[in-house]
Structure 1
């Protein structure tokens, strides 16, 4: 088992990475302080993995709820349902939410943990590659709004993350590919050596080679943990983790979440690199390297069936818009990115138009 420690300003917590961890009777149970556990999963993951977790938590009073599966259910309606279920189950302030699933589950469960009785403990058990490499770490929680993705949320760090690599054995190939986008993003932001390694070993990660998979997840976790330790609430360097996300969130929302988050991020990385080339921050070779890696990972390299004008309007509501001005994270080269707001406001739409099919 590997362990990455996240040293956030509000407190530190472990991210355990290994196989068979959900069945460990001491690991998750050791993180729960009170007697009550509220287990949140979804209708796909729950039937596959809840039993192991419930067995490990047999000493606790367990209540549970399975959400419908999908980003479109990460909304105010189902957030309210979760709170209603917790109240009906008599959850006290020393209860612990344990979330089991991908980023959608940990996002909405984490927001419930942040809000219920002004904040209760949350343990995350991520079951997708994207969640294990990125979403489970850092304490960002949110639900979507009709005006855009993740517009309603809070920072609420978990008390621990239990990453059982065995859950990826049942993950479908599309979700595996989507998870690679966040791993590529991490490398682009902070580790040129890791980016080069991915260019050579992406296929092994997608094939679930144990050594390569563990290396990719652990390295991504360490990159994110280091940045979160520097800037827990995104007042500075943590904003760099949004590379590609201003474009991605618009693509997701405008497509009605037809695009998986990682698929939209993959396109967003390309678009951010294109903008970087146009403003003189990067060479065209960088765009080609990202394009080639996306293809190698089976990820999209363009935007299908969406109007770039409408995408630009959605981006105008992005959380990175301050005083009416959009700030983008732009890559200079693998391992180096910068915040930039000194570009023609029409440039993002122009670049998206070139990638729309």
Structure 2
């Protein structure tokens, strides 16, 4: 089966290549001007990193594997500083490139390392998780975490290309794959309801990386993100809709010291945002219930402990969508009709949380 190429437009256009067994596309994304490639890879995935390095070496590149910790542990200042030191030791120049291989945390880190080294070097991202393919690796947002919050330090740095090899999904732990489905379902609620239909018609198939709908779900979700970021790279307006469910989600992740799966937090956050929409008269109860039913059908959570609200509300004060002291939420005015809610009062925020509390 041939690869699908989805274009991301803008000042620095690039392609997202989707298919099974498509590692051979990587040299074409790097280009023939690059000589040295620093491969930043999840240390727990040598079975993926090794063949990728072999492909690059056979194409004539000088390859330097740089393993990093798994998951959010990669997105720490100390890890980033270590990469900078390695770049200096290896003599990485502006004509060289960085390849990030792994989940969303790894590609976030690799992208920011590329953005910050010599004020920006070429990068290609090879996400190996569903979450990475449909969210983190597409759109040029890079970042690391600090104790005060997630992704508060970062840069916009569009990659030279993104390579989504669907065969890497087969070995994913089940709950990690399910976590990625939250971002796919989010794309359905904000822009492409056909995604919701696919999941609802066959939840079991949607929840399996080898299922009959995997490629279509990935391609549809990538197209949604590509269309949005093509129109708004720097999150000045439209791009905010991609943060549907993320205000509460990021608060949950911080409260859990980033040990809670991102997609699971987003699932809860989407139900919370849907309840905000319902309580303000913008969204019907039927669409709110559809949030719960479609998320539950694939095994995603839709509630969180009631006594967590004070800590979550405090964590939401540090949110990238906030303007000064004013909180901003992405809400829906209807299916695939995203809007914004600015400065909701405290009782509304608490009332919406009571609807997701367990």
State the shift of 1:174 in Å.
0.7
Give the number of equivalent residue pairs: 352
2:155 aligned partner: 154
The answer to whether the Cα contact below 8 Å between 2:41 and 2:66 also exists between their aligned partners in 1 is yes
The answer to whether the Cα contact below 8 Å between 2:74 and 2:106 also exists between their aligned partners in 1 is no
Alignment partner of 1:49 is 2:48: yes
1:40 aligned partner: 40
The answer to whether the Cα contact below 8 Å between 1:128 and 1:168 also exists between their aligned partners in 2 is yes
In structure 1, distance between residues paired with 2:333 and 2:260: 27
Normalised TM-score (structure 2)? 0.95
In structure 1, distance between residues paired with 2:125 and 2:306: 35
Normalised TM-score (structure 1)? 0.95
Post-superposition Cα deviations, 1:302-342, rounded to whole Å, max 9, x if no partner, equal 11486211111110110111021011000233211101115
| Partner SS, residue 265 of structure 2 | helix
The answer to whether the Cα contact below 8 Å between 2:170 and 2:210 also exists between their aligned partners in 1 is no
In structure 1, distance between residues paired with 2:306 and 2:263: 18
2:28 aligned partner: 30
The answer to whether the Cα contact below 8 Å between 1:279 and 1:343 also exists between their aligned partners in 2 is no
Task: Give 5+ residue unaligned stretches, structure 2.
Answer: none
In structure 1, distance between residues paired with 2:246 and 2:68: 25
In structure 2, distance between residues paired with 1:255 and 1:273: 23
Q: Which residues of 2 match residues 245-284 of structure 1 at below 5 A?
A: 245-284=246-285
2:6 aligned partner: 4
In structure 2, distance between residues paired with 1:354 and 1:220: 28
In structure 2, distance between residues paired with 1:305 and 1:111: 36
| Partner SS, residue 224 of structure 2 | helix
In structure 2, distance between residues paired with 1:153 and 1:225: 20
RMSD over aligned Cα, in angstroms? 1.5
In structure 2, distance between residues paired with 1:346 and 1:125: 44
1:188 aligned partner: 189
| Partner SS, residue 333 of structure 2 | strand
Task: Give 5+ residue unaligned stretches, structure 1.
Answer: none
State the shift of 1:251 in Å.
0.5
| Partner SS, residue 159 of structure 2 | coil
**Bigger Cα displacement from structure 2, 342-351 vs 157-166:** 342-351
State the shift of 1:353 in Å.
4.3
| Partner SS, residue 16 of structure 1 | strand
In structure 1, distance between residues paired with 2:38 and 2:100: 8
Post-superposition Cα deviations, 1:201-254, rounded to whole Å, max 9, x if no partner, equal 332122234541000000011111111111111111111111001111110011
In structure 2, distance between residues paired with 1:304 and 1:83: 41
In structure 1, distance between residues paired with 2:227 and 2:87: 34
The answer to whether the Cα contact below 8 Å between 1:231 and 1:237 also exists between their aligned partners in 2 is yes
The answer to whether the Cα contact below 8 Å between 2:330 and 2:339 also exists between their aligned partners in 1 is yes
